[in-house]
Structure 1
């Protein structure tokens, strides 16, 4: 089968012919990939940023945003059957550790992470387990939802954590309305009554944000002082919550600066640094909140919103054989929404 593989960090991946995975254990699920999302994390993986954290054995297959159809299941699998359309939680978890027991399975002590430390879904087939698969409702297709497995799930998780802070009359600011942020805007509009302001460099992304729930949009191609002045005017003094879907190139600094006292900076994107004098943390009582991928239950809730039509992915589809073109478009910033890789045999 075909697979998009990393052979060495700092070098572009290649499209290889590899052996098909097979069922080995009673809870295994073999999935025919219908679509695999392309994420900025994939760029960071290729750069080697995750090497020390995940330490995969090279070469291996990329792809952590996956959906498709069940081909085969292990003897103990009861929640899905061959032919079912499914989306896959990014982590393959154990169900037995303390984190799993309390529903925080995204922090499973024994998890594997397809696409980051074991073979992922930018391929014709992916081996996962019964704890990772969410059966799709009949009105959803794998290509329509694949990128929600991580981008959507991460955005949903961050917004879900902030609900107590975003009561009526509050202001949320979203930095970056691209592949991750445009989902966050929709989730904010679906779950809160906060006024939503979006900041992005791309006029296309701002236009999209305005059509899916943003009340205000600001051009990021201004000075920081100009942006901060406009945000403070719109929010009457500062944001209650800032969601930073970029997390680098200076956005952590401006994201914190636009908060009102007792505001919260939620970082979802990464690559930069948050530097705040401790006296500012104390005197303003501001919070810095990290956000990893969401839980299995978060993904179930997100699929419900999606089936209801309240969250929609804006995507550009590439055949799996054109994966390197998709990587280039994402890295160059010409890709609006999410890139989706579709294997030739997907139907």
Structure 2
């Protein structure tokens, strides 16, 4: 099969032939990949940021946002059949450990992560298991939803955690309205009655945020903190959702969190620096967010089927994967996601 493989860190991946994966156990599911999302995490993998965390052996296939058509199933699989269209949870989980049994499968103690710790979906075929596949509702196509498998799931997971804090009359500041942020915005609008201020350095991304229903749009031109504070009457937001997490967004996020508010870190790459006395005096919460659970993905697919969450995409062929990665790195995909369609 054709695949995008990393051979060395800080070097471009190669588009080349790789062995076809095959069923190995009774719970395995072999999926023909119809769409694979291109994520900033892929750039971080190539840069070597995950070198010491993933433990993966090179070369391997990247791609952790995947959707497609079931080709083969193991002998114990009953929840999908060959021909079913599915989106894949980014973790292949065991179902037996304490986190899995409590519904917190995103913290499975025995998980594999295709595209990060094992071969992923920027290829023609992908091996996963029955616990990772969500059957798509009629009318949903893999290319329309693939990036929801990680970007959408991560954004939804953060919003879902914030929902209990967002009663009517509260204010949210959302930093970054791009690939994750525009999904987070739609999730907020679907699940809460909060007032939402969106901050982004791209006017195109802000225009999209306004089109989707964001209440206030602030251009990140160096005066964004002052502008957002003015919108919140100088108090800051009850919840800040930071979908950037680097290049100064962290400091902005903390500055815009009101007394007893919560700063949700979703994007990464930077550092959160705050004196402990400020955490205590302001009584703020700093909350990390990993990818969501299988149930989160199931809920997100329900919202998508209802038309409440829509993914803006730019499509590339598998042969154009390096162009897609370059466009993402250069910021040429504002307000949406790049999708590889093998």
Normalising by the smaller structure, the TM-score range is over 0.9
Q: CA deviation at 1:38?
A: 0.4
Counterpart CA distance in 1 for 2:154 and 2:248 is 21
CA distance in 2: counterparts of 1:281 and 1:80, whole angstroms: 48
Quote the Cα distance in structure 2 between the aligned partners of 1:179 and 1:303.
Answer: 17
* 3-state SS of 1:148 partner: helix
Residue number among 321, 333, 336 corresponding to 1:335 in the alignment: 333
Identify the residue that residue 257 of structure 2 maps to in structure 1.
259
Structure 1 residues 191-340: aligned runs within 5 Å: 191-221=191-221, 223=222, 226-236=223-233, 237-336=235-334, 337-340=336-339
For residues 164 and 97 of structure 1, the distance between their equivalents in structure 2, rounded to whole angstroms, comes to 28
- Once residues 227 and 115 of structure 1 are traced to their aligned partners in structure 2, the CA distance between those partners, rounded to angstroms, is 36
Give the 5 Å matches for 1:176-191. 176-191=176-191
**CA–CA distance in 2 between the matches of 1:203 and 1:233?**
20
Distance 1:53 1:241 in 2: 30
2:112 matches 1:86 = no
Residue aligning to 2:71: 71
Output the CA distance in 1 between the equivalents of 2:19 and 2:165: 49
Task: Give deviations 1:20-45, integer Å, cap 9, x for gaps.
Answer: 11111100000000100000000000
| Pairwise CA distance, 1:206 | 0.4
Hey, what's the Cα distance between the residues in 2 that align with 1:342 and 1:315?
11
Q: Which runs of 4+ in 1 moved over 3 A?
A: none
2:58 corresponds to: 58
Aligned mates of 1:323, 1:176 — CA distance in 2: 24
TM-score normalized by structure 2?
0.99
Deviation at 1:235, TM superposition (A): 1.5
Q: Give the deviation of 1:231 after TM superposition.
A: 1.1
**Separation in structure 2 between the aligned mates of residue 97 and residue 109 of structure 1, nearest angstrom:** 6
Aligned-residue offset at 1:232? 1.4
Secondary structure, counterpart of 2:164 in structure 1: coil
Tell me the distance in 2 between the aligned counterparts of 1:106 and 1:54. 15
Gaps of 5+ in 1: none
Partner SS state of residue 197, structure 2:
strand
Say which SS state the counterpart of residue 341 (structure 1) adopts: strand
Matched residues in 1 for 2:243 and 2:75: separation? 41
Distance in 1 (CA, whole Å) between partners of 2:247 and 2:322 is 25
**Root mean square deviation of aligned Cα:** 0.6
1:25-174 map, 5 Å: 25-174=25-174
Tell me the SS of whatever aligns to 2:207: helix
Q: CA–CA distance in 2 between the matches of 1:133 and 1:51?
A: 27
Q: Distance in 2 between matches of 1:207 and 1:228?
A: 19
Unmatched 5+ stretches in structure 2: none
**Number of aligned residues:** 340
Q: Deviations over 1:309-328 (max 9, x none)?
A: 00000000000000000011
The 3-state SS of whatever aligns with 1:163 is helix
Paired with 1:174 and 1:5, the residues of 2 have a C-alpha distance of 34
Q: Secondary structure at the match of 2:111?
A: coil
| Cα deviation digits, residues 195-217 of structure 1 (max 9, x gap) | 11110011110000001121000
CA distances 1:286-338 after superposition (whole Å, capped 9, x unpaired): 01000000000000000000000000000000000000000110000011210
Q: Tell me the distance in 2 between the aligned counterparts of 1:32 and 1:105.
A: 24
State how far apart, in whole Å, the 1-side matches of 2:35 and 2:231 are.
39
**C-alpha deviations, 1:237-276, integer Å up to 9, x for none?**
1100100000000111110011110011001000000011
Q: Does 1:4 align with 2:16?
A: no
